[in-house]
Amino acid sequence: MDRFWVYFPVILIFGIFFIMLAVLNIIRRHIRLKSLRPSFKKNLLRIPGGSLLRQLDNLNEQINLYLVYVIILPLIIYSTLISYSYFTATKPSQPVIWISSLSGTAIIAYFVIALVKLLSRRRSIRLSYEGELVVGQELNQLILHDYRVYHDFPANTFNIDHIVVGPKGVFAVETSTRSKGAARNSSPEATVTYDGRMLTYADTTDCETIEQAEQQADWLSKWLTASTGEPIAVRAIITLPGWVVKRTSADGIPVVNPRQFASLFEHIKPRPLSETMINRIKDQLEQKCRNIDF
């Protein structure tokens, strides 16, 4: 019985901690499954960066949980030593103090390092999400010119950032976001050079984004062809929010700043689609994109 009272404060703290986590999970589950779900919030179209937004929500929950760990673990370790000393009327030995201190420091360091990684990942995803919002808003302006615009299209194992369907054809738009750091828009770091095969930044080059955009456009072309029963060509476009694109060759797929969409779609070579075919393509895309249920 005496040993129980030695560890009672630790048991109490752990008990309160896990009860608190359980209550928070129950509340979160209740909000997701029971409340704030009126009928008009079902089967909505996907929004720009919707998948990234869900990742941000999950990351925020993890970060909050790790912050709780970092705050409460020192209290648990300290309460263990104090309760042991108080209820046994003995002073903890030096080895016990050192082992407790080193173990606690190691555990806290683990969570701090994990927390730093989560914060870095959140910063990266947040940048991508904000880029998707910028691109989505610019693309939505094309609706005024008889285009249909879809966002965050779920493919087999990946998402296509944006799809544009209209009188001049079908386009798969890939967003590439990259931080400029402290660079200003007028500085060399804010400019990317494109030679039709590769994107060249001040400190690196990038061929993968171009390959990825072309592969996604090819996948979408095959999927629409199989879905509609008619051959549908899909062209890839890459957009770089916040970057000035300096093009040195007429070859390759279009790479533009989002503010150039209006000019791009005004002058791009048309691959005309009939209104009937546009509607058939739209129906197929909406079956995949109209699936948001809060």
Q: Per-domain residue ranges for the chain? A: 2-133, 141-292
- Tell which phi-psi region holds residue 172, choosing left (phi > 0), alpha (psi between -120 and 50) or beta: beta
Dist CA 82 CA 254 (whole Å): 67
Q: What is the pTM of this model?
A: 0.81
> Is the pLDDT assigned to residue 5 strictly greater than 90?
no
For the stretch 196-210, pLDDT in tens is 999 999 888 999 999
Q: What is the pLDDT of residue 95?
A: 80
Question: Going by C-beta distance under 8 Å and a sequence separation of 6 or more, which residues neighbour residue 119?
Answer: 63
Give phi and psi for 160, each to the nearest 5: -90, 125
| Mean predicted confidence (pLDDT) in 150-156 | 93
Mean pLDDT of the chain: 85
> Is the pLDDT assigned to residue 165 strictly greater than 90?
yes
Dist CA 216 CA 219 (whole Å): 5
- Two tokens, residue 201: 């930044």
Give phi and psi for 19, each to the nearest 5: -65, -40
Dist CA 197 CA 242 (whole Å): 21
Q: What is the pLDDT of residue 45?
A: 87
For the stretch 176-198, pLDDT in tens is 998 765 444 445 448 999 999 99
End-to-end CA distance of the chain: 51
**Band of residue 96 on the pLDDT scale cut at 50, 70, 90:** confident
**Band of residue 153 on the pLDDT scale cut at 50, 70, 90:** very high
% of the chain beyond a pLDDT of 70: 85
